[in-house]
Amino acid sequence: MQSQQGKNNNIKLRAYAKLNLSLKITGKRADGYHDIDSIMQSISLHDEIEVREAASGIKVKCSPDIADNIAERAAKTLLDEIRLVKGVEIHIKKHIPVAGGLAGGSADAAAVLTGMNAALGLNLHKHKLIEIGAKVGSDVPFCLVGGTCRVTGMGEMVERINPHSSGAFILVLPKLQLSTASVYGEYDRVGAGNSTNELEAAAIKVAPEIKKIIDSLVKATGGNWQMSGSGPSLFMQLTDISESEKHVEAINKLGLEFHVVKRMDQGVEIV
């Protein structure tokens, strides 16, 4: 059992979304999962998490509510791993869209692991949290490290690299939800296509509206738009945040939800 020294019973955190600046599929394993080679980037769009120690059990309150919340699985995995008979209350306020290719659930799980480590005074090393996170979800290790990283394997191998030169992005959130499993399944049928994100062609097969939205954004802004993860979220890189001003009106006219976001150097932040 871990030491309970120095615990703080109420921890507030920000769980930052991620973008896949590039995504290659490098193989398929015998269990059906795929290996990847991706440059991932934390961005300022975030969920708000609160973690409190409780006498027993795991209670998760999420607004809006989400079925099969990965954050609860993260909490259970951590408690089981260290054989700690304690409870925890978790409150999540969602801003990152669900099933958007932005690792919102994984970011929440990473924040829960970080918050429990602090709230329960566990003093676990980051490497241990990453090991636990890899058992919860493939993007959780990256979300625990954050910043700009090269991520390989099934997501468990995370290497910090020099920050990407772009300091900001315009992020567009189509009103679609794409199942990661369905996009990977389609990838196995149609292959990589010619995008920087090798899942993009498969996502367009699953949801042809994505191609229409990309075409309209390219026409409106003259920029290079690409999809993050398994989609459908789309982004354009900017040299700096002020560059967004010339594109805001054009994107507004398309009636699309969008955010101007900054590059972040961490995936989870205690506030």
Q: How far apart (Å, rounded) are the C-alpha atoms in residues 110 and 124?
A: 13
Residue 52 pLDDT: 96
The radius of gyration computed from the CA coordinates of the chain, to the nearest angstrom, equals 19
Q: How far apart (Å, rounded) are the C-alpha atoms in residues 95 and 30?
A: 36
Q: How far apart (Å, rounded) are the C-alpha atoms in residues 227 and 231?
A: 6
pLDDT in tens, 171-209: 999 999 899 999 999 999 999 988 999 999 999 999 999
- Residue 38: its H or E element: strand 34-54
Residue 67 pLDDT: 74
Q: Token pair for residue 249?
A: 């009106």
Is the pLDDT assigned to residue 4 strictly greater than 50?
Answer: no
Please give the backbone phi and psi of residue 5, each rounded to the nearest 5 degrees, phi first: -75, 140
Is the pLDDT assigned to residue 148 strictly greater than 90?
Answer: yes
Residue 2 pLDDT: 44
Is the pLDDT assigned to residue 149 strictly greater than 60?
Answer: yes
Positive or negative CA dihedral for 106, 107, 113, 119? negative
Domain boundaries, the chain: 10-160, 168-262
- Please name the fold of domain 168-262: Alpha-Beta Plaits (3.30.70)
Is the pLDDT assigned to residue 85 strictly greater than 90?
Answer: no
- Candidates 18, 86, 94, 108; catalytic one: 18
Give the count of beta carbons closer than 10 Å to the beta carbon of residue 118.
Answer: 19
- Please name the fold of domain 10-160: Ribosomal Protein S5; domain 2 (3.30.230)
Residue 7 pLDDT: 63
The CA–CA distances, whole Å, from 231 to 105, 106, 116, 131, 176 equal: 14, 15, 30, 26, 9
Is the pLDDT assigned to residue 5 strictly greater than 60?
Answer: no
Task: Establish whether the linkage from the previous residue to 232 is cis, with ω within 30° of 0.
Answer: yes
**Regarding beta strands 168-172 and 226-227, do their DSSP bridges make them parallel or antiparallel, or are they unpaired?**
unpaired
Residues in the chain: 271
- Is the whole model's pTM more than 0.75, yes or no? yes
The position carrying tokens 């980037």 is: 41
Tell me, yes or no, if 18 is annotated catalytic: yes
Tell me, yes or no, if 139 is annotated catalytic: yes
Please give the backbone phi and psi of residue 95, each rounded to the nearest 5 degrees, phi first: -125, -30
pLDDT in tens, 203-233: 999 999 999 999 999 999 999 999 999 999 9
Is the pLDDT assigned to residue 1 strictly greater than 60?
Answer: no
- Candidates 12, 139, 240, 265; catalytic one: 139
pLDDT band at 125 (very low <50, low <70, confident <90, very high): very high
